[in-house]
Structure formats: C-alpha cells, structure tokens
Amino acid sequence: VFESVEKGPAIEVFALNRAFLDDTATKKANLAIGAYRTNEGKPWVFPVVRKTEIKIASDDTINHEYLPVLGNDAFTKAAVGLLLGENSAAIAEKRAIGIQTLSGTGALRIGAQFLRVILDRRVAYYSNPTWENHHKVFLDAGFETLRSYRYWDQEKRKIDFEGLLADLEAAPEGAVIILHACAHNPTGYDPTQEQWKQIADVMERKKLYPFLDSAYQGFASGDPGKDAWAVRYFVDRGFELFVAQSFAKNFGLYCERVGNLTVVQRNAASSEAVASQFTLLVRGMYSNPPAFGSRIVATILNTPELRKEWMECIETMSGRIIKMRKALFERLTELQTPGTWDHIVSQIGMFSYTGLNEKQVRVLIDEFHIYLLKSGRINMCGLNENNVDYVAQAIHTAVTK
Ligand code: LMR
C-alpha cells in the first residue's frame, strides 16, 4: 500500500531547529524558529502563566469533560475583547463572535475552510514574502488560485507599497486577502497607518475580503491596543472580516495550541447561522478543541491583577527584542560591515529580514553554527548579551567573504 509514497520535503523551520539541537558545537545560536528566548537563551514560561496553570491543575471544580464545539466561552469572549477592544461597537452589537481554534494555524484553516465551502471563495492572496504556511493552509482548504501581492522591495529594504496597491487593484472581486495584523512575518515591516488606510480604500472599492493573521498582539510593541490598530481600523470602517489569533507568542503557549478566529459581521442576525456552520466544520475536522491552554488565557485576561502581570511580561519581551536590535545594529556598524543595517532597528516584532543571501546564510550555518532561514530571516529573540558579538562577527565574515 505504502510503496508508492514519496518522501515529502522537510519543513525548513523545524528541520533547522532539529539541526541546531543536534549540533554538538559549543558555540552555536538558534535564530531560526520563531519562539522567545531569555537573555540566557532559554525558553520562558511567564511567571503569571506558571502560577495560573498550577491554580487550574489544583482546582477540584475543573474536570475534563468535552468543551463545546466552538470552545470555551470565557476564552473566546476574552480573545475577541483583547483584539477589538472592550468598547468595540461590533462586540456591543453582537456582530463579533469567537471560535476557539488550534492556535493561529487552526484559525486560518477553519476560516479558509468556511470561505471555501460555505461562501464558495476560490482565490486568495498573500504577501510576497509571507509566513511559508499560509500557502499550504489555504491550498489544503481547497483554494484553487493562490497568488501573492508585492510586499517587499529587497533592494530598498522597505515595503513596495506601489506594487502592493497595484496587485490588490488587479485582484478579482471577492478574493480573500491575507494581511499580517502587526509584526509582519518574515520582514518585520508593517504598513504605516496612512498606508493601511489606502489598503482599506482599495479593498473596499474592489470588494476584497480581509483575513488578518494576528500572531503577535502585544508581543510586537508591548501594547496590545497598538498592535491591534489595523484590525480595529478595518472593523471601524465597516468591513466584514476574519482575524486569526494565536496565543503562542504573546502567552508563550506554543505547544498548547491556543487560538481564536474572530468573525466580524455587518449584522448580528447572521451570527447564529455562521456559528452553526462553523460548528459543523469543526465537528467534521476535530470535533472540539482542547481545554487547558484556553483556561490559562481566559483566567489571565479575565482577572485584572493577572492581566497586569501578563502585560509586564509582554513588555519584558518586546523590550529585550528592541535592546537586541540595537546591539546587533551597533556591532555591525562598529565592524563597518558592508551594506546598510538601519532596517534592523526600524523593523518590529520577533523577526528581522536581514537581507543576507542564501550563500551568506550557508556560511553562517556551516561555519558558525548559527541557524537561520535561507530567506535571511532571523529571530531576534535568539540573540542575547552572550552571543550578539559572535553573531555580528559571523555576519561580518559572511558578508565580506
Ligand atoms: C515561525 O515563523 O518561525 C513560527 O511561527 C513557527 C512556525 O510554525 O513556522
């Protein structure tokens, strides 16, 4: 039966992570996988998360009965509130609903499935470049035409905004446009507020459907409201849309697969039918979601003192990233490494799109045991005070070789 099965390609980010773990070199650095690391290079369980999980695990009133198909109500409400803002008109008017999902990827997949199966959408666009899984998620959900819109100008190391607008302008009516809500992965460059307005203008005129991917709310700037600006702007302008929310990075709950799909509609009247169709899709895919991670997030967001402690954690993370951006930039400037490096400090979020080419990336991996994606994307959190000199020197060598 299985003899005809061909081996599929490795998933780059996980293959690099494995290679890093297996690498026996004493000096090495993992700048590949998008996960936070402390200044000691270790994964971080937020103290508030640790405290909350212990409380949940020792609560005798909590059992392991099934969650409802669309998830834990306290969690989905908190997630929608965090995203749209507690005073959102869409929430007050009951036009916004939440569906608990298997992290952000699950939210993208169930949303794509709904658009394909229930609304018969067939065309989706993602930025060039984008998170490599966007393509696969939409393809597997049955989208027939997947195209990219211009986003990154490699030469100028900034957004190709004219190209972006032209590609949206040329998209067929009804196409689904995947947008990064903040901290664009992999480039680290977001549109300005003025540019978001122009994107919304084209999308409104051309009747394009916004599907925002929000994987870094709070993580990007340390302020969840600021990071949700684009989402809230689209909602305030009256768009109907989906937002995929991940709680992997902003709560450090990577493996717990905690996510939410926020659905904003024009009228509350469609909520019941929409929820019923999502119920059937989820039932057919995985029946109902896991509970533990959603209980942690719901408890923290719904308890003011815990929420405050969580805010301190996201500030710690975003603060450390900014510090590392400065440190790497300063080192490369001191070394007079050829090229411009200002983008490292002007980008936002977890990643920096360094501009290093594939040959330079190979030098970093093979000679210096520094792991990064072949696109030149590095995870800033993999840098710390102990390895930033080493990494800067290695980049300098790779660039001047
Ligand atoms: C990343 O971009 O490195 C992370 O979001 C991990 C992943 O699943 O790709």
- pLDDT tens for residues 339-378? 999 999 999 999 999 999 999 999 999 999 999 999 999 9
Mean pLDDT score, 265-272: 96
> Would you say domain 12-44+318-400 falls under CATH 3.90.1150.10?
yes
Domain ranges of the chain: 12-44+318-400, 73-302
Written as six digits, the tokens of 59 are 């609560």
How many Cβ atoms sit within 10 Å of the Cβ of residue 368? 19
Q: Is the pLDDT of residue 36 over 90?
A: yes
* The ligand 1 atom nearest the CA atom of 105: 8
Kindly give the distance from the C-alpha atom of residue 208 to the centroid of ligand 1, in angstroms, as a whole number.
27
Would you list the DSSP string of 177-225?
EEEESSS-TTT-----HHHHHHHHHHHHHTTPEEEEEES-TTTTTS-HH
pLDDT at 332: 97
Q: Which residues sit opposite 243 in a β-bridge?
A: 212, 262
> Would you say domain 73-302 falls under CATH 2.40.128.20?
no
Q: Are 295 and 56 in contact (CB under 8 A)?
A: yes
Contacts of 59 (CB under 8 A, 6+ apart): none
Q: Is 55 a catalytic residue?
A: no
Q: What is the ipTM of this complex?
A: 0.94
Would you list the DSSP string of 306-364?
HHHHHHHHHHHHHHHHHHHHHHHHHHHHHTT-SS--HHHHH--SSEEE----HHHHHHH
Q: Is 196 a catalytic residue?
A: no
Closest CA to 253 of 377, 102, 98, 382: 102
Kindly give the distance from the C-alpha atom of residue 91 to the centroid of ligand 1, in angstroms, as a whole number.
30
Among 16, 36, 131, 374, which is best to mutate for testing ligand 1, by the most ligand atoms less than 8 A from CB?
131
CA distance 217 to 317: 12
Pocket of ligand 1 (CB under 6 A): 13, 33-34, 131, 185
Q: Is 213 a catalytic residue?
A: yes
In this prediction, residue 15 has a pLDDT band, given cuts at 50, 70 and 90, of very high
Cα angle 209-212-217, degrees, rounded to a multiple of 5 = 160
* The ligand 1 atom nearest the CA atom of 33: 3
Closest CA to 112 of 102, 124, 100, 103: 124
In this prediction, residue 69 has a pLDDT band, given cuts at 50, 70 and 90, of very high
Q: Is the pLDDT of residue 154 over 90?
A: no
Task: Tell me the chain's radius of gyration from C-alpha atoms.
Answer: 21
Q: Are 196 and 165 in contact (CB under 8 A)?
A: no
* The ligand 1 atom nearest the CA atom of 186: 2
Asked if the bond preceding 47 is cis, omega within 30° of 0, the reply is no
In this prediction, residue 177 has a pLDDT band, given cuts at 50, 70 and 90, of very high
How far, CA to CA in Å, does 98 sit from each of 34, 102, 181?
A: 25, 13, 17
Written as six digits, the tokens of 76 are 């989905």
Q: Is the pLDDT of residue 161 over 90?
A: yes
Kindly give the distance from the C-alpha atom of residue 250 to the centroid of ligand 1, in angstroms, as a whole number.
13
Among 11, 12, 13, which is best to mutate for testing ligand 1, by the most ligand atoms less than 8 A from CB?
13
